[in-house]
Structure 1
């Protein structure tokens, strides 16, 4: 492959731009994320057409191992232009790619058998997590096995530290792993039965804590009934023991209200209705053979047993609507069923391709220049994954474009009529996929441990039997090729390339506003906005792709420039009216999820989007309805509880203070507080100047930096501070002489408070004066990125490569809202002025290059 032709970034982008019909975002996403590259950044594919032929060739190679093989051309036709079948990111990137030794699996769950709460076991899980992430996988694992805080342990600590410190450890490990322009993804879960579950639920409420993980709490039916009926609930450890080491009775309603409040406030934790998951799970019919479900992948759509994995694929539902957005629109169930059967075949072929990839990974490990002791842990991890993947042959056939399919049929998302139609589509999908898996079992053999008797009482299998008795009879006779088949994932960037709505979700907005930077002196430029540094921006309207299709189908000129009133009127006429992410009937959306879940053997990743002004009572009602409707999980997002959403185009939105720049991320800053509160929450950030160890104290008001103090650590004249301290409070007091004093107070492991008095007295006077200057501009809400520029311009008496001011910059960068542009800076890799902050690092939107520090 060394002699294979390469393409420049511009060549690939231009070809992809033509492929996507001028859609710059889709073209850039494909080139940056999915075009085949080597570790030096050389691009080996010019457009998605090349990628689809690569995938088709590899799958056809596997097909030829079995009876009735599909041809390369047949497979390509299903993939071409993302029209029908769309592999998820890991398969799309990895199939046929010899330049990266990476897994094709999107999802993994890990977890050790037996007593797994020793330090050795906890560290082993940490190691396995990062080993999987470096191969491009998202990872989930459960913490219910870790002893609650205060439990006796046989080491120098004497008592257990509980769950939260290990949440931080796993979170930090995730943030350290790079995955070609993306970072690792982690799901941490815990059972509500665990005595530390309340601390788990609260862990992410502190700004900056556990930022590298999604967290979900596993709720059993007894807890939900206790919460709804206001009855006490018993927690214990071990959580499933008949003779627990500890046991306590808690107020279920109060704990439930905390879950609801935190979800309303910060969109986490997510909830997993664990009894529903286990009751419906087909793999759990084989729990004693190693298929006991313990956690989910990071987005929650695949509950998994330890060391199992899953590859994902989506079917573009919109493409099966004939005559879309017209009175003659209908859904082509015949073509849909045919393609679902093919999709299930392709998924099974990809299992074989994954087993080949695992062999390649294991071969690489064997030849790595490391000691056998180091290599053995990683090698054994992949041995376990290969065994479980080959035994169950689990697949993840899903969908995308549900929202566009519904609209194209002339239905409105969130109505009963639309829900009934969607359920029928998903029932058809489930029957076709399972029929295909049975056919493959007849041709290729069933998965290794298939046993019809074990599945006889499974609710999902019983629904298949009631709907299609012949399918059930054939399955009992020939078996099934795959232990479980279906899911619904978020699809994310994949939907940018299908140019449709994402997953099961409704359209986010049919019309929205973006900004692009312009030169105000150029001809024909209309300046709509000037930012705080004087850059000029022009606003322009962006239409959802299928909204344009609706316009064209109804004789509306999509190229005309419309006024705001005309746009509002157009949206009101369309099937997208009152059917967007933020204004769909929320209760109906939850009921729709529960109804469709009956025909999805894994789970569904879906978010209920709510406006900012809803109260906690609504969140409570939605969660309870999700449980009662048969959902396996639920995630609530209230507008403004996290940053990073687009703004809609309407008259009332123009009155909002929050504005959006070209990347559609709002710049949110709290209002200025003139009088400093007596106490401020504080983050402790350590850094190093040459060989000197320094520490920064960042005082926070509403999670936003309000002041900063810096000084030497562990020095006779400096600050003595335990290395474990990362949080505390800065307390301001006034002495008899009228002078202010700032003390830092923190809690030690035993809960005792310790105070470091007089921070200002411990600083070099020059640094102290600059710290006061920086605190002043922070206090009046200068954007963090501009504060960092200000710090960089300071002229200190003694500068070195690793200076004090660089440490202050690093301390402040963690508070920059992801997506904020680094104006005036060019990417060192591609030269474009397209740098944005992501997780405190500068990342190029154009080529994906990233640098931190």
Structure 2
């Protein structure tokens, strides 16, 4: 319908083109929400009503440009006049909700010019948007993307591009991010176009077997953390505990002892003013101190480390045969003693079952797929979770940077956990008890769950020790929060059976939010002194008419590869050795996010063979197109300097980047993009986000389908928000239940198989959390590890969770004083890396 109304005034005063389709869409949604028409006829009626709205606008605004509010007022009047009072009511309520959200965003202090979610705006303010000296935000989300695009596109001028062509590339970079089709890792969003200019996510540093070498690594780690990066180390070169130190005639304390130096140093360094340091520590299974390493977190400590055992094919074969293998002194290269491989493997399983640490890294598999093996073998991977994320404490959400190295009380599976002096602690599986304090705090925990008990309180220090909940007595003092609040135990009483886990700081060990404690996992295997910059494509944006839009995806893959390659050139490196190694291999890591939504849009269950097939095909396409474009870039710009020493020399004419793809845990960038993290399933269909006092979040796809199918109601959403899952809720069609499966609805085997499906066509490793239900056994963890090895994963991480019925509960007074599944502001249900 042609109309004389051609312009509309936006709320910010801008005058833009009038789009009649937006009115039709708004009316259509209101019709669907109240079920006013037979399915399939809503669109036709919406168009008819829109025509009436346009006619009314032409009559009322012939002499001036209508505002957005004017148009919405007319829509309301037309709906009421045409007898659609219920639809008008739904439209008015939606309009009010949008107004409330706009007001909340103003309260946060961010001008949202991209219509992002309230939580995304909160995350952007806290971590990404530039601020003035007083802490006030001085850029909008779109201006942040402009800043990043402008800074990264400067690299184009290094390759004889005219300013005009470089400007066009800058525009494409900007549109890519503005459309939320692709986002780079957090350091790029934070630091591009600023004085810091450190844009890479992850680094690996060598640790040599000398005091000088060890403390050189500590110094380099500090510089990297200060610039916003995360670090990975292999401590396998360090001589074992009890070995001789000839220079002093003393006795070596071993790698675990020196790890404490790195841990303490990390504690006091705040990354780039926004994040604390994150480390991953690896020790080879053949090291004489391997058992001490496996048990390192048994009594807490190493709060800033995620640890993994590096195993070889030979070790795994010895496990299968129940054979012994040799422990080798790395200093002398001589055998120290033999030990049963299966017993060591079982010990790994035991502590992974109890605490989530250690993970396993399959070094031979990593090095088999190392494209530059002539340069060296891969020793360590980068950390997978950063310490800037939030944990749920007894007083509500607190940022980890407030809690690292301090005693505090955190929540896990609906229970309160008190941290150690260094950060967090570990526990086992036992009957659940309810612990009540005189101050009114109520904890659900296991009898052998370790609680921080106060032994002595002075004016400047609180001396504590871990105490089993079952051993607490009335009057005992326990630690409650970061303000050093001490509570008195009133009673401890039985409260059923449940399995529980430890809380570990993100990027350090594991992350707890609404019960989903996701363990760290290294997704970017690197050589010593290498770094890698990461970016992820939001694949949920590429479903068109029920199919994947492969052509548009190809375009986005190509421009994303160009973006990441440009980052290497404009990056400011924290160490000259890192700059030399990074530019010699030019590794990039292009991955995905929004995979769960893509499957839902395709009508495919996550835990199905069809989903595995889609994942494998999708990653094969992205990797192949990335390599194709990297070859094209190499013909324009030159191959990476070590190309002739790589496997690509025999397969390709040229190659710009030694590696091109990685599946990273996308953390906060997936919140900005409004999609699920990495290749993880959704972690809840509805839940309470701990933002602005409690914000109910509903999976948008579920909400739309529920309204379209006619089974949506506020009561239904409230019921879902109490458990996160829809599997046991009546009134929801079975086919809908099939595609909206959460992380805890999915069996461990499907998690591993999905990781393997993506790993098959991913250059670097694949970040994936294998979520185990609360009744998972020691044997279940063992099966996961063995299946991961069989399916040729490069590494594996497991974490057991609480019950599906009460994933994580927190009293929310504003929401009827009932218990809801809650998630911290930055939680997305995944394992996260270097603030990716």
| TM-score interval (norm. to shorter) | 0.5 to 0.7
Give CA-to-partner distance per residue, 1:519-560, whole Å, 9 cap, x none. Answer: xxxxxxxxxxxxxxxxxxxx8753123333443554655767
Pairs within 5 Å for 1:76-475: 76-82=174-180, 84-98=181-195, 101-111=196-206, 116-156=208-248, 158-179=250-271, 180-207=273-300, 209-238=301-330, 244-287=333-376, 292-299=377-384, 300-323=522-545, 329-354=546-571, 357-358=572-573, 382-451=575-644, 454-455=647-648, 472=651, 475=652
Whole-Å Cα distance in 1 between the matches of residues 592 and 813 of structure 2? Answer: 29
Q: In 1, are the aligned partners of 2:689 and 2:823 still within 8 Å (CA)? A: no
Deviation at 1:396, TM superposition (A): 1.2
- Indicate the residue corresponding to 2:759 in structure 1: 597
**What does 1:440-839 correspond to in 2, within 5 Å?**
440-451=633-644, 454-455=647-648, 472=651, 475=652, 477=653, 479-513=654-688, 541-552=696-707, 554=709, 557=712, 562=717, 564=719, 569-570=731-732, 572-574=734-736, 577=739, 579-640=741-802, 652-653=805-806, 659=810
The alignment status of 1:58 with 2:275, answered yes or no, reads no
Unaligned runs of 5+ in 2: 1-102, 385-521, 721-725, 826-834
Instruction: Please say if residues 437 and 480 of structure 1, whose CA atoms lie closer than 8 Å, have aligned partners that are also in contact.
Output: yes
1:489-521: CA deviation from partner (whole Å, max 9, x where unpaired)? 111111111111100111111123568999xxx
Measure the CA separation in 2 of the matches of 1:90 and 1:9: 27
Question: Separation in 2 of the partners of 1:159 and 1:558?
Answer: 69
Paired residues of 2:374 and 2:646 also in contact (CA < 8 A): no
- Cα RMSD, aligned residues only: 3.2
RCO comparison, higher one (Cα < 8 Å, 6+): 2
Structure 1 portions without partners, runs of 5+: 1-7, 324-328, 362-381, 458-471, 519-538, 641-646, 669-817, 821-833, 835-847, 849-853
**How has the CA–CA distance of structure 1 residues 172 and 661 changed in structure 2, closer, same or farther, with 3 Å as cutoff?**
farther
Contact kept? 1:514, 1:663, Cα under 8 Å: no
SS at match of 1:512: strand
Q: 1:379-413 CA distances to partner (integer Å, 9 max, x unpaired)?
A: xxx11111112211111111111111111110000
Question: More displaced, 546-555 or 258-267?
Answer: 546-555
- Aligned match of 1:5: none
SS in structure 1 at match of 2:373? helix
In terms of mean alpha carbon deviation, does 198-207 or 545-554 score higher? 545-554
User: Following the alignment from structure 1 to structure 2, what is the Cα–Cα distance between the partners of residues 417 and 151?
Assistant: 54
- Structure 1, residues 334-360: CA drift from partner, whole Å, max 9, x if none? 111111011101111111111xx23xx
Q: In the aligned structure 1, how far is the partner of 2:170 from the partner of 2:112?
A: 25
1:782-810: per-residue Cα shift (whole Å, max 9, x none)?
xxxxxxxxxxxxxxxxxxxxxxxxxxxxx
1:26 aligns with 2:126: no
Corresponding residue SS for 2:781: helix
Conserved 8 A contact 1:402-1:506: yes
Moved more, 225-234 or 138-147: 225-234
Aligned to 1:75: 173
Distance 2:133 2:559 in 1: 33
Q: How far did 1:72 drift?
A: 2.6
Do 1:663 and 1:819's aligned partners in 2 also have CA atoms closer than 8 Å? Answer: no
Matches of 1:10 and 1:511 in 2, distance apart?
22
SS in 2 for 1:307: coil
SS of the counterpart of 1:215?
strand
SS of structure 1 residue aligned to 2:366 = helix
- Does the aligned pair in 2 maintain the 1:578–1:584 contact within 8 Å? no
Q: TM-score, normalised by structure 2?
A: 0.64
CA distance in 2 between counterparts of 1:351 and 1:9 reads: 38
Taking the aligned partners of 1:657 and 1:437, their CA distance within structure 2 comes to: 44
Partner Cα separation in structure 2 for residue 819 and residue 503 of structure 1: 18
Residues 152 and 216 (structure 1), Cα distance of their counterparts in 2 relative to 1, 3 Å cut: same
Deviation at 1:63, TM superposition (A): 2.4
Aligned length: 570
Q: State the Cα distance separating 1:244 from its structure 2 match.
A: 2.1
Counterpart CA distance in 2 for 1:212 and 1:335 is 41
1:504 partner SS = coil
Q: 1:634 to 1:169 in 2, by over 3 A?
A: same
Closer, same or farther: CA 171–563 of 1 in aligned 2, 3 Å: closer
Q: Matched residues in 1 for 2:730 and 2:354: separation?
A: 31
Change (3 A) 1:306 1:547: same
1-structure distance, mates of 2:682, 2:215:
42
| Separation in structure 1 between the aligned mates of residue 740 and residue 316 of structure 2, nearest angstrom | 32
Give the deviation of 1:156 after TM superposition: 4.5
In 2, are the aligned partners of 1:309 and 1:389 still within 8 Å (CA)? yes
Residue in 2 aligned with 1:788? Answer: none
Do the aligned residues in 1 keep the contact of 2:327 with 2:338 (CA within 8 Å)? yes
Alpha-carbon offset, residue 74 of structure 1: 2.0
Query: Cα distance, 1:119 vs. partner?
Result: 1.3
SS in 2 for 1:271: strand
Q: Kindly tell me: are residues 450 and 38 of structure 1, through their superposed partners in 2, closer, same or farther at Cα, counting changes over 3 Å? A: farther
Q: SS of the residue aligned with 2:537?
A: strand
Quote how far apart the aligned CAs of 1:17 are: 5.0
State how far apart, in whole Å, the 2-side matches of 1:579 and 1:439 are: 40
Of 60-69 and 425-434, more deviation after overlay is shown by 60-69
Q: Offset at 1:576?
A: 5.7
TM-superposition CA deviations, 1:100-156 (whole Å, max 9, x none): x251110000115xxx21112111111111111000000011100111111111255
Q: Describe the SS at the equivalent of 1:546.
A: helix
Q: Call closer, same or farther: CA 1:662–1:632 in 2, change over 3 Å.
A: farther
Instruction: State the distance in 2 between where 1:134 and 1:261 align.
Output: 35
Query: Could you say if the C-alpha distance between residues 400 and 16 of structure 1 is closer, same or farther in structure 2, counting changes exceeding 3 Å?
Result: farther
Report if the CA contact (8 A) 1:88-1:311 is conserved: yes
- The 1:303/1:106 distance shift into structure 2, 3 A limit, reads same
